[in-house]
């Protein structure tokens, strides 16, 4: 009597110190009772027990029922402990605790009492397992299971789904179940009411069911299915347009990153830097190099590549400015030819030092995958990050140009170099810092590009012409013009590609820019100042 009281007091203390203790004990007691009923009931009564297990909401229920269906749910004869057999090869079987999942090692198969299942019950189990996740307490699990049912409902499941719809509290899950049932009814029964349910659905299985109904001999069903498909096609057109716009904005963001550094140097120094694409390439290779230094940590490597890519490209820009460009100021044609030679040197240097083959940069897990807007539209995360990164870089440059002394001096030199010098501004120092800043931003463009394309020696050549078009179209030296021009040209190019192909799309964009420049020679946002007027 005293030991019983002591035990009850100990349980009371445990429940006060650890509230989860009592709950866990109750749950395990209920689970033990369910498994005992499953083991000891007749085959006629096992179906009711199986349904009780499926409806218990216990996260272990699926594992128990799957093991039961495959004759791997058992008890140890000596202790009555419920186990799941994980390896039944040989005389000794490897088992784990059915309640805790703990590995119990090996037991002789003679000491194990398997809980038997017959063929009729196994068929019932298949139906129950197909909807067991729909009874999960987790709404996202139920929604995922409901979406999986679309196109896979059979006659047996069709009897269960209406009951699940009635008891379901979540509107999205209920809608997904209703659509799954409607797909079955349209495909198998030609149900007119179900056709109305599928009107506007973007699910591929729903469209397949409606297309099948359109081939029916029932003219009323054909008319209803045709009307429903028309509404779906309208939605699909809008979603395709949204996807094209998204890809256009992502391409435009890349063009903004590639061109914004060029806009700064071109606006301040009037230099046509044909090596700008190779500065982008250096930023991309810096990202690849950081991943070689930090294997297995692509996320950290990418974050560190942002300042590293900026510094590598900026230092390369300073070297180019000091060794080539400073001796060719005021001679744009010679500058163009010289920097083109520099671009060839940088390409060959990378081929010799690294490799002429493309390198793949690993995308971090948090940049992989996509955001699903609906069943016909998903936005890839890597491009979403590139768009955000471009906007952050643009905002940073705007702050530098508007709020710092360097920005003030850059604007002064851009508008009137002679007057700026007479006011004490060291134009040579401004040129160096401006070229370093523009080159560093090109390196950042390379870091971003490494996440959406392969890294190779010719990477920059794909963007140099587009970058110049963006600068000219937006207005030389104007950051807002560069942003608007980049996004506009990227979107136009993406809109034209499906119609005329990639090459002809670029040609048409070039023709449009030429026609636009005929009307506005100084671009969307003309540069201000005497230098611009001259």
pLDDT in tens, 465-521: 888 888 888 876 678 888 888 888 888 888 888 777 777 887 888 788 888 877 777
* Predicted pLDDT of residue 464: 83
Closest C-alpha among 28, 502, 19, 440 to residue 257: 440
Residue 27 in this model has a pLDDT that exceeds 60: no
* Predicted pLDDT of residue 3: 46
* Predicted pLDDT of residue 286: 94
* Predicted pLDDT of residue 19: 45
* Predicted pLDDT of residue 463: 82
Residue 526 in this model has a pLDDT that exceeds 70: no
* Residue bearing the bigger pLDDT, 443 or 77: 443
pLDDT tens digits for 190-208?
Answer: 888 888 888 888 888 888 8
Q: Chain-wide mean pLDDT for the chain?
A: 82
- Separation CA 270–CA 247 (nearest Å): 32
Angle at 401 between CA 282 and CA 302, to 5 degrees: 30
Section 129-158 average pLDDT: 79
Contact between 460 and 270 under an 8 Å Cβ cutoff? The reply is: no
| 3 state DSSP class of 325 | helix
Quote the pTM value.
Answer: 0.71
Residue 9 in this model has a pLDDT that exceeds 60: no
- Separation CA 253–CA 527 (nearest Å): 22
* Predicted pLDDT of residue 477: 66
* Residue bearing the bigger pLDDT, 15 or 127: 127
Residue 141 in this model has a pLDDT that exceeds 90: no
- Residue ranges covered by each domain of the chain: 11-123, 130-237, 242-461
Contact between 420 and 350 under an 8 Å Cβ cutoff? The reply is: no
Section 95-107 average pLDDT: 87
Section 323-335 average pLDDT: 81
Contact between 401 and 479 under an 8 Å Cβ cutoff? The reply is: yes
Residue 121 in this model has a pLDDT that exceeds 90: no
Least confident range from 17-26, 176-185, 240-249, 513-522: namely: 17-26
pLDDT band at 12 (very low <50, low <70, confident <90, very high): very low
* Predicted pLDDT of residue 453: 83
Residue 59 in this model has a pLDDT that exceeds 70: yes
């Amino acid at each position: 009597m005293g030991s019983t009281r002591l035990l009850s007091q100990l349980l009371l203390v445990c429940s006060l110190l650890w509230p989860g203790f009592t709950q866990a004990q109750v749950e395990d007691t209920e689970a033990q009772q369910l498994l005992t009923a499953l083991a000891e009931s007749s085959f006629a009564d096992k179906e009711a027990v199986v349904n009780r297990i499926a409806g218990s909401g216990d996260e272990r229920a699926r594992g128990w029922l799957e093991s039961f269906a495959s004759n791997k749910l058992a008890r140890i004869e000596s202790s009555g402990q419920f186990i799941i057999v994980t390896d039944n090869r040989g005389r000794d079987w490897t088992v784990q605790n059915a309640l805790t999942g703990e590995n119990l090692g090996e037991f002789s198969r003679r000491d194990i009492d398997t809980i038997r299942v017959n063929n009729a019950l196994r068929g019932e189990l298949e139906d129950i397992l197909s909807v067991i996740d729909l009874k999960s307490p987790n709404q996202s699990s139920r929604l995922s299971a409901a979406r999986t049912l679309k196109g896979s409902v059979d006659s047996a499941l069709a009897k269960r789904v209406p009951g699940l719809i009635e008891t379901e509290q979540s509107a999205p899950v209920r809608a997904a179940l209703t659509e799954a049932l409607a797909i079955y009814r349209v495909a198998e029964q030609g149900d007119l009411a179900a056709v109305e349910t599928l009107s506007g659905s973007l699910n591929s299985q729903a469209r397949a069911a409606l297309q099948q109904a359109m081939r029916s001999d029932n003219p009323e069903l054909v008319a209803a299915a045709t009307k429903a498909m028309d509404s779906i096609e309208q939605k699909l057109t809008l979603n395709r347009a949204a996807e094209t716009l998204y890809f256009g904005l992502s391409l435009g963001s890349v063009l903004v990153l590639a061109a914004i550094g060029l806009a700064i140097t071109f606006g301040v120094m009037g230099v046509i830097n044909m090596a700008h694409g190779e500065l982008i390439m250096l930023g991309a290779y810096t990202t690849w190099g950081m991943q070689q230094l930090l294997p297995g940590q692509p996320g950290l490597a990418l974050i560190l590549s942002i300042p590293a890519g900026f510094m590598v490209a900026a230092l390369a820009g300073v070297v180019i400015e000091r060794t080539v460009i400073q001796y060719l100021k005021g001679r744009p044609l010679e500058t163009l030819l010289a920097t083109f030679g520099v671009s060839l040197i940088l390409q060959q240097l990378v081929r010799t030092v690294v490799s002429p083959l493309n390198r793949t940069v690993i995308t971090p897990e948090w940049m992989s995958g996509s955001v699903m807007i609906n069943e016909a539209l998903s936005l890839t995360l890597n491009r979403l990050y590139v768009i955000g990164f471009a906007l952050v870089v643009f905002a940073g440059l705007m702050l530098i140009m508007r709020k710092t002394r360097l920005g003030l001096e850059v604007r002064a030199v851009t508008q009137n170099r002679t007057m700026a010098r007479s006011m004490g501004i060291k134009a040579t120092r401004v040129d160096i810092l401006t070229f370093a800043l523009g080159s560093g931003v090109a390196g950042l463009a390379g870091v971003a590009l490494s996440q959406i394309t392969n890294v190779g020696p010719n990477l920059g050549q794909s963007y140099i012409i587009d970058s110049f078009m963006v600068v000219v179209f937006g207005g030389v030296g104007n950051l807002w013009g560069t942003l608007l021009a980049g996004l506009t040209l990227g979107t136009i190019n993406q809109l034209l590609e499906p119609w005329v192909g990639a090459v002809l799309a670029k040609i048409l964009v070039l023709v449009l820019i030429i026609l636009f420049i005929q009307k506005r020679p100084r671009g969307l946002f003309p540069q201000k100042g005497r230098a611009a007027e001259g």
